[in-house]
Amino acid sequence: MELFWKVAAEMMDPFVFLLILGGVTAGLFVGAMPGLTAAMALAVLLPFTFKLPPLYGLVALGAVYMGAIYGGSFAAILVNTPGTPSSIATAFEGYPMAKDGRALEAISLATVSSAIGGLAGVFFLLLLSPPLARLSIQFGSAEYFWVAMLGLTLIASLSPGSTLKGFLGGAIGMLLAAVGVAPIGGENRFTFGMPVLQGGVEMIVALIGFFVIPELFNMAAHGRAALAEVTIESRKRGTFLGAIRTVFSMPGNLLRSCVIGEIVAIIPGAGGSIANLVAYNEAKRASRHPERFGKGAVEGLVASESSNNVTVAGSMVPLLTLGIPGAPPDAVILGVMLMHGLRPGLDLFTVSGDLTYGFIISMGLAALYMMPVGILGGRLIYRVIVKTPHYLLVPSIGLVTILGTYALRNSLSDVIIMLLLGTTGFVLKELEVESAPIVLGLILGGIAEMGYVQTLLRGTALEHPWLMLFQNRLSQIIIVLTVLSLASPYLSAWFRKFRKPLEEQLGKETPE
């Protein structure tokens, strides 16, 4: 711990300050652009960091990562298109708030929640790394399968209209996930003789297609009207202090979302894209007014934005202790560490402790700097979007979207896939099949398939290989959670029916 304070003092260097500030700002703008993801921002930055000393390189990467995950909320709130997959749920509440003329309030809330989430992640990383790392390796193939099943139960709450249509969307997503080289077996599936389809449908490509394109069609069709309300009532200002008060007025929600974010973060392969949805869902279930969700409920926004920023430092737990990247951007950071001769493991906290602690502290600082940068940057982006006439806004967003999709894998076919999925998404939306379940199915389809087949393979020598799915204690816990999650809407309805007469009875019996 002595080393920690020594490093903390060293971090009070003006160059480090500028590096983090620059990193957060750059990350914020990258994250705000639909299609540009945190992993891409880090990959672009990679060659520059090699020219810096190792600590500065890692500091810059950490700051950009933090900024990018947060920046995704702007596009989600202002134009209903999550900038990164980590802010899908932010759009559910942020956009209705913006339509209500509460755009700036939503941005302030997202900023404060993100900063708190970022700090919470750093806190978990600093103090709870060893136990969390032990938990993280408990997840084997059977657990992955059940986690995916648990994730699929979110569909019920992500499709406010009809649950059946929600599951239809989920099924479409899972089918899309099956395109390309089979993860087990290695055969080509659904490629229709086209070699480019071996690469499958990239999750980000589908995300952009399903979320951005229908929204652009909508804006183009309804013109100003789609955004009109945002402009008219925007004089209602959300103050920063007000946002802090609001966020801290729900400590339970905050704590729950941060813990969910951390647990999802240490499961390798999940990351912010799942964390925000799970946290949102739990916030909705715990809320006394679940009917307000989807219409601008502050709790949902806070849950989504705090949980996704927890994953930034949170996913560093398995990375720094075991060398397991928890999310795609972490793979880039692991690469940089290995290049500088840093081996994950306990050595990292002792022998090269100054580097590791420096990196961790810088992520905490990045979370703090997000507040001023976010409040100023947020207002700037807000003005630009509100003041730009829609006939310029729609093509500009369209252009950025296409560039972003292309840049993802330098692939024109990805752009074509994105546009096709977008058009399909628009039609499906008209039929009330929402985009969120489709994307969720796409994210979880691959995880579920891998987990299921790997588990059955592991049981090859058994008489009933499928029993492997139920063997571990952790699997059983997740199965119980899945069943509870599926049953909870019915349970709570039943509970309410049961409680009403009871309360009436109690009311009568209360003495005067």
Contacts with another protein by CB under 8 A lie at: 39, 42-43, 46-47, 50, 136-141, 180-188, 191, 193-196, 198-200, 202, 268-269, 318, 322-325, 328, 331-335, 338-339, 341, 343-345, 347, 409-411, 446, 450, 454, 457-458, 460-461
Taking the complex as a whole, how short is the minimal distance between the CB of residue 367 and another protein, in angstroms? 23
Q: Look-up: residue for tokens 């978990």?
A: 124
Q: Look-up: residue for tokens 């990467």?
A: 61
Which CB atom, from 43 or from 126, has the smaller least distance to another protein? Answer: 43
Which CB atom, from 188 or from 287, has the smaller least distance to another protein? Answer: 188
Longest dimension (CA), the chain: 80
As a whole number of angstroms, the distance between CA 404 and CA 490 comes to: 42
Which CB atom, from 81 or from 141, has the smaller least distance to another protein? Answer: 141
Taking the complex as a whole, how short is the minimal distance between the CB of residue 410 and another protein, in angstroms? 5
For 435, the token pair is 């985009």
Which CB atom, from 196 or from 376, has the smaller least distance to another protein? Answer: 196
DSSP 333-350: HHHHHHHTTPPSSTHHHH
Neighbouring residues of 209: CB distance < 8 A, sequence distance ≥ 6: 417, 418, 419, 420, 421, 422, 424, 425
Which CB atom, from 170 or from 180, has the smaller least distance to another protein? Answer: 180
Instruction: Provide the 10 A C-beta neighbour count for residue 167.
Output: 17
SS3 208: helix
Taking the complex as a whole, how short is the minimal distance between the CB of residue 84 and another protein, in angstroms? 16
Taking the complex as a whole, how short is the minimal distance between the CB of residue 461 and another protein, in angstroms? 4
Taking the complex as a whole, how short is the minimal distance between the CB of residue 329 and another protein, in angstroms? 9
DSSP 12: -
As a whole number of angstroms, the distance between CA 440 and CA 74 comes to: 21
- Residue 495: CA atoms inside 13 Å, Cβ hemisphere, count? 6
SS3 84: coil
Taking the complex as a whole, how short is the minimal distance between the CB of residue 268 and another protein, in angstroms? 6
Which CB atom, from 46 or from 479, has the smaller least distance to another protein? Answer: 46
Taking the complex as a whole, how short is the minimal distance between the CB of residue 334 and another protein, in angstroms? 6
Burial of 321 (0-12, 13-18, 19+ CB in 10 A): buried
Which CB atom, from 347 or from 504, has the smaller least distance to another protein? Answer: 347
As a whole number of angstroms, the distance between CA 130 and CA 254 comes to: 24
Give the torsion sign (CA, 58, 60, 65, 66).
positive
CA distances from 195 to 180, 189, 409, 415, 445 (A): 9, 11, 15, 16, 22
Taking the complex as a whole, how short is the minimal distance between the CB of residue 412 and another protein, in angstroms? 10
Which CB atom, from 167 or from 406, has the smaller least distance to another protein? Answer: 406
